[in-house]
């Protein structure tokens, strides 16, 4: 006999478990279906454990440079196994936290793979594909997330050619690593492994690292990574990977010709694709295309009545905070409330390499391509007293404004822990704050956050700390 619920959520990542909790809070009888682990990729094999690894690398790097701060440290080393173990411990703690939230909110957890039998009925299958439960619900929410994308000429074997999940759980630290793809995942692992002594080659087919970011950000990161000793190959592509004994030989087509790099392991970090296969979407009448379920971005309705989808499975941007926000909005809509819709033009992106990268809104090039007459301000952390005191003077804050109306079009940062600063720009843009309101808001000194105000002042020709010439009033 089928179990019946008001809301059934398939997948328990940052979109799924948040949708379930908010639905339960709003009075819905709620269940979740999870085939692997509560918390999904983000909590278990993505956002959270990678940040733990990056923190280990940051601590090791700080100790390596301790003499710069007048501190003498002797006889230290990177214990790769302990770093991995700590990372797994952090992930396990967060996953248990989701288990607690399920119980606290009286949400029934159904372990298995959710497969639609029709638009009104879902089978929950075990690892062998045997149906163990049948679920009926007034509302189904698909939040099955995404997985690493595989290149046709680069099949992941989990040993010499790996994906991000394996990269955070290797048994042994590689001496040499080639990373293909310089998006957020690629540059984060590049920083981690390089910091603890692995020889890293980073390959990106686009002209700049982190190609979705402002061009100045990618150029700055490449300069810093080269200084750290990484082999950076942009505007380059991997032609073939040959397994050779206990390692691999990677042939790379570059601007200067063909380059062959030998390594212990290759990490494929070329993006993700939605988990749309083998969950019965066709039987439910849910349409999908190129690894993403098609939805109305305001209501999250699919083509099937009573079925909705949120998070990575509906496509870019593939961000945990976007999925969680969609989850809350959807649950409140189902309850008949009128929540503020997600503003997809104001979703921040964060990359947790060191220096970190954070951004929101249009890049300078995008703004110009859209026809804006722009005012651009840039403030380097080398001019920040707090950054100098911290010993992290690399990077900058860059802002882009519309010259006609003063709209804050974009904000782009690279520097130490700038992911903690970007929220100011997100809130300000949401409130349609003008540049002069940012300038007149007193920022505490000395802080890294001052750089935001200083960059805005530079855009308006009112900066006082760079010796810039005032801009002519229009």
Q: Is 130 left (phi over 0), alpha (psi -120 to 50) or beta?
A: beta
312 labeled binding residue: yes
Domain count, the chain: 3
**In the structure encoding, which two tokens stand for residue 432, read together?**
């349609």
Q: Are 61 and 109 part of one and the same domain?
A: yes
Number of Cβ within a 10 Å radius of residue 76:
10
For every residue of 213-280, DSSP letters joined together read S-HHHHHHHHHHHHHTT-EEE-S-EEEEEEEETTEEEEEEEETTEEEEEEESEEEE-S-EEE--TTS-
pLDDT confidence band for 472 (50 / 70 / 90): low
**Residue 15 and residue 144 in one domain:** yes
Q: What percent of the chain has pLDDT over 70?
A: 99
Domain check: are 259 and 291 in the same one?
no
Question: 34 and 90 share a domain?
Answer: yes
Residue 122 and residue 24 share a domain: yes
- Name the domain boundary from 222, 252, 270: 270
Residues 6+ apart with CB under 8 A from 162: 156, 170, 265, 266, 267, 268
In this predicted structure, the answer to whether residue 418 has a pLDDT above a threshold of 60 is yes
Whether 181 has a binding-site annotation, put simply, is yes
Q: What is the pLDDT of residues 262-306, one digit of tens each?
A: 999 999 999 999 999 999 999 999 999 999 999 999 999 999 999
pLDDT on residue 151: 87
pLDDT tens-digit series, residues 428-452:
999 999 999 999 999 999 999 999 9
- Please indicate, yes or no, if residue 102 is contained in any of the structural domains: yes
Residue 155 counted as domain residue: no
Given 226, 242, 270, the domain boundary residue is 270
For residue 467, say whether it is annotated as part of any ligand binding site.
Answer: no
Plot region of 306 (φ>0 → left; ψ -120 to 50 → alpha; else → beta) = left
Same domain, 7 and 105: yes
- Specify the residue for token string 């936290």: 97
Specify if 468 maps to a domain. Answer: no
Domain assignment present for residue 42? The answer is: yes
Say how far apart CA 335 and CA 132 lie, in whole Å: 30
Q: Rounded to the nearest 5 degrees, what angle is found at the Cα of 301, between the Cα atoms of 298 and 304?
A: 165
Based on the fold, state whether residues 311 and 443 are members of the same structural domain.
no
Asked whether residue 71 is domain-assigned, the answer is: yes
Q: Is 247 annotated as a binding residue?
A: no
- Widest CA span in the chain: 76
What is residue 470's predicted lDDT score, i.e. its pLDDT?
67
Eight-class DSSP state of 469: P
Q: Is 291 annotated as a binding residue?
A: no
Active site includes 321? no
**What is the helix (H) or strand (E) element at residue 190, kind and residue range?**
helix 184-195
64: Cα separation from own chain's centroid? 28
CATH of the domain at 430: 3.30.390.30
| Stretch among 169-178, 244-253, 293-302, 406-415 having the lowest mean pLDDT | 244-253
> In whole numbers, what is the pLDDT of the chain averaged over residues?
95
Torsion, CA 371, CA 369, CA 186, CA 422, rounded to 10: -10
| CA-to-CA dists, residue 109 to 43, 280, 437, angstroms | 17, 20, 48
Strand partners, 201: 178, 231
**Do residues 257 and 294 share a domain?**
no
Same domain, 296 and 229: no
Boundary of a domain, candidates 344, 367, 402: 344
In this structure, are 134 and 282 located in the same domain?
yes
Return d(Cα 9, Cα 98) in angstroms, integer. Answer: 14
Q: Does the pLDDT at position 385 exceed 90?
A: yes
Is 401 a member of any domain?
A: yes
Q: Identify whether the C-beta of residue 151 lies closer than 8 Å to the C-beta of residue 270.
A: yes
- Mean pLDDT: which of 158-162, 199-203, 469-473 is highest? 199-203
User: Considering the domain boundaries, does residue 154 fall inside one?
Assistant: no
What share of the chain in percent tops pLDDT 90?
A: 91
Q: What is the pTM of this model?
A: 0.94
120 lies in the same domain as 13: yes
pLDDT for 474 equals 47
Q: Which domain does 218 fall in, by range?
A: 161-270
88-109 mean pLDDT: 95
Q: Is residue 285 part of a domain?
A: yes
Q: Name the nearest CA neighbour of 142 among 373, 310, 371, 338.
A: 310
Six token digits for residue 209:
């690292």
CATH code for the domain in which residue 125 is found: 3.50.50.60
Q: Strands 121-125 and 113-116, how do they pair? A: antiparallel
pLDDT (tens digit, 9 = 90+) per residue, 4-46?
999 999 999 999 999 999 999 999 999 999 998 999 888 888 8
Q: Which of 288, 443, 445, 465 is catalytic?
A: 445
Sheet bearing 161-162, strands edge to edge = 161-162, 265-268, 176-180, 199-203, 231-233
Residues 177 and 277 in one domain: no
The answer to whether 142 is a known ligand-binding residue is no
Burial classification of residue 128, based on how many CB atoms lie within 10 Å of its CB (0-12 exposed, 13-18 middle, 19 or more buried): exposed
Token pair recorded at residue 10: 């398939």
């Amino acid at each position: 006999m089928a179990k019946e619920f008001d809301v059934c959520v398939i997948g328990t990542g940052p979109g799924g478990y948040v949708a379930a909790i908010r639905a339960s809070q709003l009075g819905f009888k709620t269940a979740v279906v999870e085939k692997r682990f509560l918390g999904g990729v983000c909590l278990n094999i993505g956002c959270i454990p990678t940040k733990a690894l990056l923190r280990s690398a940051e601590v090791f790097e700080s100790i390596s440079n301790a003499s710069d701060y007048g501190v003498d440290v002797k006889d230290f080393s990177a214990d790769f196994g302990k770093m991995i173990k700590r990372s797994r411990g952090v992930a396990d703690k967060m996953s248990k936290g989701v288990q607690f939230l399920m119980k606290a909110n009286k949400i029934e957890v159904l372990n298995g793979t959710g497969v639609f039998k029709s638009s009104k009925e879902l089978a929950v299958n075990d690892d062998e594909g045997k149906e163990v439960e049948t679920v009926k619900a007034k509302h189904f929410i698909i939040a099955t997330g995404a997985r690493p994308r595989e290149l046709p000429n680069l099949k992941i074997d989990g040993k010499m050619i790996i994906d991000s999940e394996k990269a955070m759980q290797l048994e042994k630290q590689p001496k040499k690593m080639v990373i293909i793809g310089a998006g957020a995942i690629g540059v984060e692992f590049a920083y981690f492994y390089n910091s603890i002594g692995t020889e890293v080659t980073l390959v990106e087919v686009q002209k700049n690292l982190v190609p979705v970011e402002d061009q100045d950000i990618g150029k700055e990161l490449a300069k810093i990574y080269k200084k750290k000793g990484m082999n950076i190959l942009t505007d380059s592509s991997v032609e073939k990977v040959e397994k050779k004994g206990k390692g691999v030989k990677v042939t790379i087509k570059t601007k200067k010709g063909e380059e062959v790099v030998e390594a212990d392991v290759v990490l494929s970090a070329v993006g993700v694709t939605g988990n749309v296969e083998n969950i019965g979407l066709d039987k439910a009448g849910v349409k999908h295309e190129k690894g993403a379920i098609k939805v109305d971005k305001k209501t999250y309705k699919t083509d099937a009545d009573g079925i909705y989808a949120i998070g990575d499975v509906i496509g870019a941007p593939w961000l945990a905070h976007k999925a969680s926000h969609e989850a809350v909005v959807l649950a409140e809509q189902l309850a008949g409330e009128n929540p503020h819709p997600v503003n997809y033009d104001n979703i921040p992106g964060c990359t947790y390499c060191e220096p970190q990268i954070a951004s929101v809104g249009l890049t300078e090039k995008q703004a110009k391509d859209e026809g804006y007459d722009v005012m651009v301000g840039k403030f380097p952390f080398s001019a920040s007293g707090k950054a100098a005191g911290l010993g992290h003077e690399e990077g900058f804050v860059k802002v882009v404004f519309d010259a006609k109306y003063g709209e804050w079009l974009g904000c782009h940062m690279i520097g130490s822990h700038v992911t903690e600063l970007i929220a100011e720009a997100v809130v300000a843009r949401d409130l349609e704050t003008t540049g002069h309101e940012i300038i007149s808001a007193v920022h505490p000194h000395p802080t890294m956050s001052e750089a935001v105000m200083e960059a805005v002042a530079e855009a308006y020709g009112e900066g006082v700390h760079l010796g810039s010439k005032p801009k002519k009033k229009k």
